[in-house]
Structure 1
């Protein structure tokens, strides 16, 4: 989410990025992990943000879900070695549309969705390859894109099937970002960064409280499938979702 902030030093209104991270704990509950604001979403900014989460106790991350922002990807590799990365399937589909003529986008989208209707990892992978092969003759750029993105978009298939719909995109965070955008649009121009953090922090605190009393996002049964033993430290996470 981007907001407008008055920069007294520059004497002008500037656009600032507000980034949010949410996660699922080892007990299956959802939590807001952090929020920050910066001039740009470069690698330096994202690295500092992710390190701040770890400094405050984040550990045991199995999966990070995000779009394919270059700075964020580099920061994940730098700060979370050994963690899988799931490229948001919704964002990827939008990227795929960019190399497909508008008249054919609905057809390609329908074929793409069939991949995610399957319930076995091997079948998902095979169907991905089939769709890419089908696109090769008419849309070679799209086919090449699918082959390049395969491992990242299908990272969810390594996890329990019960988790798939909840981890193959960052749509849950997108819904939260829409609420943040709605609230910040009411203000219009913020006097400083601190004012942004106060408002966004209040939105996130409300959401965090709702999640605490809500039914667990991931069940004990499905979490037990991750491995034979469960980490009971609630500061650890099975996955985090990041984005603007």
Structure 2
């Protein structure tokens, strides 16, 4: 270690200190495995006439987290020895595959990962090798996407991210929708990811049918951002479910038509509509906005609220506790914010499956990082302030859920009580 400071000895990469250390450890470990396999140590006279003996070594190069390592793998004369440290056919050891998947989940392309490993570790992996490592999680993604779900979710959130998909010689924008269900304990679960290839009710009918086939028998309230065809698909699958348009998305959509200098004033004029105590009061406030100077100046803003009225008003029938939970899809906005950064780094995807795979890996990666940060603070004395973040979305609790569940049980007793 003194040579690292004095002579500039490299720690990683070809000829570095750590690769040589790992090489020595692995070769000694394989030697110990061979001794255990043969039943006697090197040079032990007791091994004479045992029927098997050492038979030199075989050169083998493997990739590791600290660079490529050239090993001398020991062998026996009967060719019955198989090392568990360096299995036959293995070309990558340690956490190199985990590192590749983590870099991929962070938004790096396969070629970016290839250049990064070569520059930092001196490990040169082909494009095909890295692609196979990332494709190894495809089965996990498929199993996760097809896993059984609970029969009942009181609240279902649905929000979308825009991803760029290569379509032949063109690049098209598609919506990757993420569904988050809240169970009876108020715990959120990511139910699935779907890339929207076609518009309207046909696509959403397929999504709802898939959720139903995976076990979801009933949903009380579905919160979404005014997606075309979704109410019809919901009605066809869960006939009693209520579709609630996200108020925040509705406000944003209506403000697109307002000049920047007038936005604060128009937003203040719209606020009495969505904070009204009842649907009738909200309608009076909408009529008042229509008669105001702002309503006359921005008729497109008024039309946005009028067209979405039937899907905007359901939450007005509930109390304050439940309104806070269902009036917006912001419950998954923090997740979408993190995913958008990764999508931006990634650029475009070769197909829909690649987009779904990256989004799934990103969600798992984010949750794993947060879990590691919480684990570091697990041993701190009681009362010590903790800075580690909680779960981002999957497995996170819903604030104020007990009061909201009490309201739901009063409104939907026949649908909730059988599941309590």
Measured against the shorter chain, the TM-score band is 0.7 to 0.9
Higher CA-based Rg: 2
Does the aligned pair in 1 maintain the 2:225–2:250 contact within 8 Å?
A: yes
Does structure 2 retain, via aligned residues, the 8 Å contact 1:88–1:168? yes
Q: How far is the alpha carbon of 1:233 from its aligned partner? A: 4.7
Aligned to 1:223: 405
1:67 to 211, 217, 225: 225
Q: Is 1:84 matched up with 2:242?
A: yes
In structure 1, distance between residues paired with 2:196 and 2:211: 16
Q: CA–CA distance in 1 between the matches of 2:344 and 2:258?
A: 33
Q: CA, structure 1 residues 112+207, in 2 after alignment: closer, same or farther (shift >3 Å)?
A: farther
Please name the residue that 2:287 is paired with. Answer: 132
Q: SS at 1:62's partner residue?
A: strand
Moved more, 93-102 or 22-31: 93-102
Counterpart pick for 1:49 among 207, 211, 216: 207
Asked if 1 retains the 8 angstrom alpha-carbon contact of 2:163 and 2:174, the reply is: yes
- When the two chains are superposed, the root-mean-square deviation of aligned CA atoms in Å is 3.0
Instruction: Give me the TM-score of the superposition, normalised by structure 1.
Output: 0.77
188, 207, 212: which one pairs with 2:347? 188
Quick one: distance in 2 between partners of 1:185 and 1:201? 16
Q: How many residues of Structure 1 are paired with residues of Structure 2 in the alignment?
A: 229
Query: Post-superposition shift, 1:12?
Result: 4.0
| Alpha-carbon distance in structure 1 between the residues aligned to 2:403 and 2:344 | 41
Give the C-alpha shift of residue 132 in structure 1.
Answer: 2.5
What displacement does 1:95 show?
Answer: 3.2
Counterpart of 2:338 in structure 1 is 179
Q: Distance in 1 between matches of 2:322 and 2:255?
A: 27
Which of 187, 190, 204 is the equivalent residue of 1:29? 187
* Structure 1 residues without counterparts, runs of 5 or longer: 235-244
Structure 1 residue aligned with 2:316, among 146, 157, 171?
A: 157
Aligned to 1:3: 163
Normalised TM-score (structure 2): 0.48
Q: How far apart, CA to CA, are the structure 2 residues paired with 1:98 and 1:51?
A: 34
**Shift of the alpha carbon at 1:137?**
5.0
Question: Which consecutive residues of structure 2, in runs of 5 or more, have no partner in the other structure?
Answer: 1-160, 369-390
Structure 2 CA distance for aligned equivalents of residues 32 and 159 of structure 1: 25
Instruction: Please report how far the alpha carbon of residue 20 of structure 1 lies from its aligned counterpart in structure 2 after TM superposition.
Output: 0.9
Shift of 1:214: 3.7
Larger relative contact order (Cα-Cα within 8 Å, sequence gap ≥ 6): 1
